[in-house]
Chain A
Amino acid sequence: GAVVSQHPSWVICKSGTSVKIECRSLDFQATTMFWYRQFPKQSLMLMATSNEGSKATYEQGVEKDKFLINHASLTLSTLTVTSAHPEDSSFYICSARAGGEADTQYFGPGTRLTVL
Chain B
Amino acid sequence: GQNIDQPTEMTATEGAIVQINCTYQTSGFNGLFWYQQHAGEAPTFLSYNVLDGLEEKGRFSSFLSRSKGYSYLLLKELQMKDSASYLCAVLDSNYQLIWGAGTKLIIKP
Contacts and interface: CB of A to CB of B under 8 A. Distances in A.
Nearest to B91: A102
Contact of A110 (B31, B33, B42, B97): B42
Contacts of A110: 41-42
Contacts, number: 42
B43 A107 contact: yes
A8 interface: no
Contacts of A43: 87, 99-102
B95 A102 contact: yes
Interface residues of A, number: 18
Contact of B31 (A2, A102, A106): A102
Interface residues of B, number: 20
A107 B100 contact: no
A44 B87 contact: yes
Interface string B15-49: 00000000000000011010100001111110010
B12 interface: no
